[in-house]
Structure 1
């Protein structure tokens, strides 16, 4: 399956997220993205740093596609952010970084499960 197919089918196709992108784990290369989901290089740099320093991303929040989200979870594999009833789930695998946004109409746990399952699958196949 192509990286774009993972975004289109495994993430957005579920209806649990409305925007998503996959980057290399350093955040320096875009592998696939949904239309008009523009995560900036600086945002990616801060996200990658957040996996190394969870305290910093928890105190400053996480920025994705120009929007600041309050960090509700941060560890070495996942960062979750929330703004109102919508939010973002960022999952790091060995080689990839999944960034997904869910709308106010989706339960956070449902969106989280979708992104985490894809992350676990990618880790299982060596990514």
Structure 2
């Protein structure tokens, strides 16, 4: 398997690799695209259809019930804007809610949710991090997945 060049043979990324290898690729993608910005505290990639955690940053523990609540927030953006989002023992005030993105803020912390066709990207930032950098990184990663049809 060492001879396979994934950049030249992208079909191997989709169907030729075991799930454990794909998951490792997603872990690396999370680190390279989000954590390495130093403006993302925790992040995860969730498969929407079954709330399966495909990859997450170190120490970011999510339960299926939490993920389902976050996904349900997209069903009624006006209500989400009005009520906010309760996540990780904090009530986040919603500063943006539409069919693709939800941004929440609690003091100097924030929660960024972006959904694609088949995935939900969850990201948090803490004080001393720039919310705009976190948002930009998560939205760019979501755009990458959207271009891939995922």
TM-score, normalising length: structure 2: 0.78
Counterpart Cα distance in 1 of 2:39 and 2:138:
9
Q: 1:55 aligns with which of 78, 82, 92?
A: 78
1:4: Cα distance to partner? 0.9
Asked which structure has the greater RCO (Cα within 8 Å, sep 6+), the reply is 1
1:100 maps to 123
2:145 maps to 122
2:100 maps to 77
Structure 1 gap ranges (5+):
none
Structure 2 gap ranges (5+):
1-21
1:50: Cα distance to partner? 1.3
Name the structure where strand makes up a greater proportion of residues: 1
Count of matched residue positions in the alignment of Structure 1 and Structure 2 = 127
Deviations 1:99-119 (A, max 9, x none): 001111122111111110110
1:44 maps to 67
TM-score, normalising length: structure 1: 0.90
Q: Which of 45-54 and 116-125 deviates more?
A: 45-54
